[in-house]
């Protein structure tokens, strides 16, 4: 049975990826903090024939992350999806140190730690998918904290891609544009949700990259609404 771990699987893009990848002979570890929401995804994943397991974890805590990883056992892991993320959106001089550090902890340090702990147990043919953003390539006003995180994850991803290539582990980067998820609830402003992409589009992109033969690496996929960045 293939074993996949998806962070931020309780809603939004992570949930869509979990549902897209749910299939018989796959075990899906669903990581997040919101147990109730994870139970709903568990039910949907199970109905699709996969074997889900919920791992409640606050990924901003390195100790909680390590404890979560230790429950996985020693079996190989075939896929790590670093998806969990948060956005602090405000002018750079209003961002507090705490907000800055919290964003880095979830968006950058957690993928670093998960990669460091899990890549050694990934066989040739396994994949790491990093959910970045168009904000990993372009700075947007008011998005300095978010862009700093995504640019950092971009650099990390490119480097580990080169380091893991010889091991046969593929590092796939996906760059969604604005997507209609709960992440926008906490962001001030009038954001046109109706013009945003559905999270399922990013899940389709991830599934496509994973569906290629193990000898083929789809390095980067940028996907967004035809209306451009909102």
Ligand X SMILES: NC(=O)c1ccc[n+]([C@@H]2O[C@H](COP(=O)([O-])OP(=O)(O)OC[C@H]3O[C@@H](n4cnc5c(N)ncnc54)[C@H](OP(=O)(O)O)[C@@H]3O)[C@@H](O)[C@H]2O)c1
Of the candidate spans 6-14, 88-96, 119-127, 207-215, the one that interacts with ligand X by CB under 6 A turns out to be: 6-14
Q: Which one, 94 or 182, has the nearer CB to ligand X? A: 182
Among positions 3, 5, 6, 11, the unique one binding ligand X when judged by CB under 6 A: 11
| Residue 37 contacts ligand X per CB under 6 A | yes
Q: What's the CA gap between 38 and 84, in Å, rounded?
A: 13
58 belongs to the binding site for ligand X (CB under 6 A): yes
Residues 76-115 as x/- pattern, contact with ligand X by CB under 6 A: -------xxxx-------------------x---------
Q: Which residue from 197, 230, 226 is spatially nearest to 89, judged by alpha carbons?
A: 230
Q: Hey, which residues are catalytic here? A: 146
If phi > 0 it is left, if psi is from -120 to 50 it is alpha, else beta; for residue 181 that is beta
Torsion of CA 18, 186, 112, 220, to 10 degrees: 60
User: Is 10 a residue that touches ligand X (CB under 6 A)?
Assistant: yes
User: What is the spatial distance between Cα 181 and Cα 188, in angstroms, rounded to a whole number?
Assistant: 14
**Beta-carbon neighbour count of residue 187 at 10 Å?**
14
The nearest distance, CB 167 to ligand X, in angstroms, is: 25
Could you say which residues in the range 180-219 bind ligand X, by CB under 6 A?
A: 181-183, 199
What minimum distance in Å lies between the beta carbon of 166 and ligand X? 28
Cα three-residue angle 206-45-16, rounded to 5 degrees: 35
Structure tokens at 222: 């940028």
Contact flags string 151-170 toward ligand X, x per CB under 6 A: --------------------
Using an 8 Å Cβ cutoff, are 89 and 187 in contact? yes
Please give the residue ranges that form the binding site for ligand X (CB under 6 A): 8, 10-14, 32-34, 37, 57-60, 83-86, 106, 131, 133, 176, 178-179, 181-183, 199
């Amino acid at each position: 049975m293939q074993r996949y771990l998806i962070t931020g699987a309780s809603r939004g893009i992570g949930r869509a990826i979990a549902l897209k990848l749910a299939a018989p002979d796959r075990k899906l570890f669903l990581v997040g903090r919101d147990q109730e929401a994870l139970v709903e995804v568990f039910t949907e994943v199970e109905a699709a024939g996969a074997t889900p397991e919920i791992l409640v974890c606050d990924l901003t805590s390195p100790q909680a992350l390590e404890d979560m990883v230790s429950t996985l056992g020693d079996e190989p892991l075939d896929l790590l999806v670093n998806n969990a993320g948060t956005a602090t959106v405000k002018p750079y001089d209003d961002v507090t140190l705490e907000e800055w550090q919290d964003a880095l902890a979830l968006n950058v340090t957690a993928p670093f730690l998960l990669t460091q702990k899990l890549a050694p147990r990934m066989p040739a043919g396994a994949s790491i998918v990093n959910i970045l953003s168009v904000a990993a390539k372009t700075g947007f006003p008011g998005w300095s904290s978010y862009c700093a995180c995504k640019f950092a994850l971009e650099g990390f991803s490119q480097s580990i891609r080169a380091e893991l290539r010889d091991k046969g582990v593929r590092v796939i980067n996906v760059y969604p544009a604005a997507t209609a998820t709960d992440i926008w609830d906490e962001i001030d402003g009038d954001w046109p949700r109706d013009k945003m992409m559905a999270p399922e589009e990013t899940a389709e992109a991830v599934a496509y990259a994973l569906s290629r033969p193990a000898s083929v690496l789809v390095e980067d996929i940028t996907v967004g609404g035809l209306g451009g960045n909102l």
